[in-house]
Amino acid sequence: MILNTTKNLARILLDLSIIAFSFFAATNLRILGLEATETTKFIVNEQLFKVIGIVLIVKFLCLSIIGVYKKFWRYTKVNDLIELGKAMILASAILIIPRLVAGLSPAKQDLFAISYGVIIIDFFLSLSSLSALRLLRFYLKEQSNIKSRLKTLSEKRKSTLVIGAGEGGLQVIEAIKTHPELGLEVKGVLDDDKKKFGMHISSGIDVKGSIEDVKYWVDELAIEQIIIAVPSSSLKEKKRISLLCNETGVDVRIVPSVDQLAGGHVDISEIRKLSMEDLLGREEINLNTPEIIDFLKDKKVLVTGAGGSIGRELCKQILRHGNIKELCLLGKGENSIFESKQELERLKNSLAKHLEISTKICDIRNYSRMENIISEFKPEIIYHAAAHKHVYLMEQNPCEAFENNVIGSRNLMDLASKYSVENFVLISTDKAVNPTSIMGKTKRLAEKLLLDFAKNNSCTKYSSVRFGNVLGSRGSVIKVWQRQIEEGKSITVTDKKAIRYFMTIPEASQLVIQAAAKAQSGEIMVLDMGDPINIYELALQFIKLSGFSEADIDIEFTGMRQGEKLYEELLTSEEFIDSKLTDKIFKARIEEVDSKYLSEHVNTLTELANTNQNSAFVDEVSKEPLTKA
518 in catalytic set = no
User: Measured over all CA atoms, what is the biggest interatomic distance in the chain, rounded to whole angstroms?
Assistant: 120
Which element (helix H / strand E) includes 200?
strand 200-202
Contacts of 201 (CB under 8 A, 6+ apart): 165, 169, 170, 173, 189, 207
The partner residues of 427 in beta bridges, in order of sequence, read 465
Q: What 3 state SS string does 91-117 have?
A: HHHHHCHHHHHHCCCCCCCCCCCCCHH
Distance CA 412, CA 426 (A): 10
CA atoms within 13 A on the CB side of 445: 31
3-state helix, strand, coil in the chain (%, to 5): 55, 15, 30
Distance CA 621, CA 563 (A): 13
Which element (helix H / strand E) includes 227?
strand 225-228
The partner residues of 467 in beta bridges, in order of sequence, read 429
DSSP state of 291: H
Kindly name the residue from 299, 431, 448, 587 that is annotated as catalytic: 431
Q: Please report, for the chain, how many H helices and E strands are present, in that order.
A: 22, 22
Asked if 172 and 228 touch (Cβ cutoff 8 Å), the reply is no
DSSP state of 489: P
Distance CA 74, CA 134 (A): 7
Distance CA 547, CA 161 (A): 16
Q: Is the dihedral of CA 12, 18, 20, 22 positive or negative?
A: negative
Which active-site residues does the annotation give? 431
